[in-house]
Structure 1
Amino acid sequence: MIVPSVEAPANRTAVTGHQPIQVLPTSDTGPMFTEYEQLAEEIRAVQRGMAEIRATFDSDDGLVSATVGGAGELIELWLDPRIFRDPDSVALARKVTDTVHRAAELAHRQGLELAAGYLPAGIEAADLRFDPLLTALDRQTGGGVRR
C-alpha cells in the first residue's frame, strides 16, 4: 500500500496548532479583514492539499484494491481476476465495500493531519469540509471575495 504524504502549509505546524496570524493594518480594509483574508487563503490551501490526497487500501487477501481522494470519493477500484472464482456476490460486495471504507479512513486521517493546525488539539474526527467555516467568516466580516 502506497499512501502519498501531503504536507501542511509551511507557515503552520501540523501537531501543535497554528502560528499566530500577523495582522497588518491597511488603510482601506482594516486589520480584521486582513486577518480574514490570510486565514481564508490558508484554509483554501488546505482544501487544495486535500484535493491532492490519494489513499489506497488493499483487502487482506490482496484481491481488492481501492484508491480514494481526500473527500473519500472512489478514484480507482482494482479487482484481481481470481476474485470471480468464488460466486458469492454478497461476500464480494462486502469485501469491496470494506476496502473502500478502509481507504476512505486513511484519506480522512491524511486530511486531519493536513488540517491539524486549524483544529483544536486532540481532534481525531472532524468534518474537514471548510466551506461552512469560510461562509461563517464571510458573514462575520461582511463579505470577502472568494478566489
Structure 2
Amino acid sequence: MEPYGSGDAAELQAYADELRAGFLRMQQEIPALHERARTLQVTEKSPDGLISATVGARGDLVRLDIDPRVYRRPDSRQLADTITATVQSAAAKARERVVEIFAPLIPGEQMKAHLEGDLQAVLDQMTARLPGER
C-alpha cells in the first residue's frame, strides 16, 4: 500500500465527512426504523392453504395455525415438512422486509450479510468503500 499523498488526504477527508454525515443520519433515523423492524410480523400460508405461520423479524415463530382438514390425510411427515417449509418461507420474507426497512440507511447487501451473520462479507463491503482500496 502506498503512502497517502496530498490528493489522498482530501479524499480521506471527504470520506470522513461522508461517514460522519451518514452516522448523524443513522443516529436520527435508526430508532424509528428499529421499532418498525422490531414489531414486524410476516404471515405465510402453505401452498395447500392448510398451514399458516407467522414469524417475527428474526424469523422466530409467533403463531402457527393448522386447519383441521389436515387430519383428512394423516401423514405426519408431510405435515411436518409443510410446517417447516411454511415457517422457512415466512422467515425469508421477514428478512427481506427487514432489509427493505433499513434500505434508506444501510446498503441491502450489507444488511443481508449482517442478518446472515456473515461478518467477513460486512467487513469486505466496508473495506471496498475505503479510499485507495478500490
Same fold (TM over 0.5): yes
Structure showing the higher helix proportion among its residues: 2
The residue that corresponds to 1:84 in the other structure is 71
The residue that corresponds to 2:49 in the other structure is 62
Calculate the TM-score normalised by the size of structure 2: 0.61
Alpha carbons of 1:46 and 1:124: their partners in 2 closer, same or farther (altered >3 Å)?
A: closer
Can you list the C-alpha shifts for 1:13-50, whole angstroms capped at 9, x where unaligned? xxxxxxxxxx9xxxxxxxx7xx8576345323222111
Alpha carbons of 1:121 and 1:91: their partners in 2 closer, same or farther (altered >3 Å)?
A: closer
Stretches of structure 2 lacking an aligned partner (at least 5 in a row): 1-16, 120-134
Stretches of structure 1 lacking an aligned partner (at least 5 in a row): 1-22, 24-31, 133-147
- When the two chains are superposed, the root-mean-square deviation of aligned CA atoms in Å is 2.9
- The alignment covers a number of residue pairs equal to 99
Is contact 1:68–1:75 with CA below 8 Å preserved after alignment?
Answer: yes
Which one has more relative contact order, counting CA pairs under 8 Å at least 6 apart?
Answer: 1
The residue that corresponds to 2:26 in the other structure is 39
1:88-99 correspondence to structure 2 within 5 Å = 88-99=75-86
The DSSP-based 3-state class of the residue aligned with 2:113 is coil
Choose 1 or 2 for highest CA Rg: 2
| CA distance in 2: counterparts of 1:87 and 1:121, whole angstroms | 42
Calculate the TM-score normalised by the size of structure 1: 0.56
Percent identical pairs in the alignment equals: 37
Alpha carbons of 1:86 and 1:118: their partners in 2 closer, same or farther (altered >3 Å)?
A: same
Is contact 1:112–1:126 with CA below 8 Å preserved after alignment?
Answer: no
Are positions 1:51 and 2:34 aligned together? no
Offset, 1:117: 1.8
Offset, 1:123: 5.5
Segment of structure 1 superposing worse, 102-111 or 41-50 = 41-50
